[in-house]
């Protein structure tokens, strides 16, 4: 039973356009969500996070939106750049699970020149 789902294994976007990566979750107890970016042969890099008390968090080109009623979050990257090509993982956590991370399977983002 996957509590965090990233239903798109891959996504291809034109350079300069907006990339939207989606993540759905089932556990309503999750209170903190994170996005990580991973290049091949490297560890995941923390990108941006959002607390369940917010519905939006923005950091430069990256914005995360949280829709608690739909149990859905998304990461927007605008404008997309070639260096954004990587695998993106969303993760969720909660205080009652001692903040263990529950990971999505990842979405491979390919930015086309």
Partner 1 sequence: GAVVSQHPSWVICKSGTSVKIECRSLDFQATTMFWYRQFPKQSLMLMATSNEGSKATYEQGVEKDKFLINHASLTLSTLTVTSAHPEDSSFYICSARSGVDTQYFGPGTRLTVL
* Contact residues for partner 1, defined by CB under 8 A: 2, 36, 38, 40, 42-46, 49, 87, 89, 91, 97-103, 105-106, 108
Here the tokens at position 76 are: 């927007």
* Cα 43 to Cα 96: distance, rounded to the nearest angstrom: 26
Nearer to partner 1, 7 or 18 (CB): 7
Tell me how far, at minimum, the Cβ of 99 lies from partner 1, in Å: 7
What residues does 75 pair with on adjacent strands? 21, 64
Here the tokens at position 32 are: 């903190």
Nearer to partner 1, 41 or 70 (CB): 41
Tell me how far, at minimum, the Cβ of 59 lies from partner 1, in Å: 12
Nearer to partner 1, 40 or 113 (CB): 40
Tell me how far, at minimum, the Cβ of 16 lies from partner 1, in Å: 26
Between the alpha carbon of residue 72 and those of residues 14, 31, 42, 112, the distances in Å are 24, 12, 27, 27
Nearer to partner 1, 13 or 92 (CB): 92
Tell me how far, at minimum, the Cβ of 98 lies from partner 1, in Å: 5
* Cα 54 to Cα 43: distance, rounded to the nearest angstrom: 28
3-state helix, strand, coil in the chain (%, to 5): 5, 55, 40
């Amino acid at each position: 039973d996957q509590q965090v789902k990233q239903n798109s294994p891959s996504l291809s976007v034109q350079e300069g356009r907006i990339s939207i990566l989606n993540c759905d979750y089932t556990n309503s107890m999750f209170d903190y969500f994170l996005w990580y970016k991973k290049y091949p042969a490297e560890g995941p890099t923390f990108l941006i996070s959002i607390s369940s008390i917010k519905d939006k968090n923005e950091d430069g080109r990256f914005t995360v939106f949280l829709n608690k009623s739909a149990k859905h979050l998304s990461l927007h990257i605008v404008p997309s750049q070639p260096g954004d090509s990587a695998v993106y993982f969303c993760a969720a956590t909660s205080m009652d699970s001692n903040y263990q991370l529950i990971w999505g399977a990842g979405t491979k983002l390919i930015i086309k020149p």
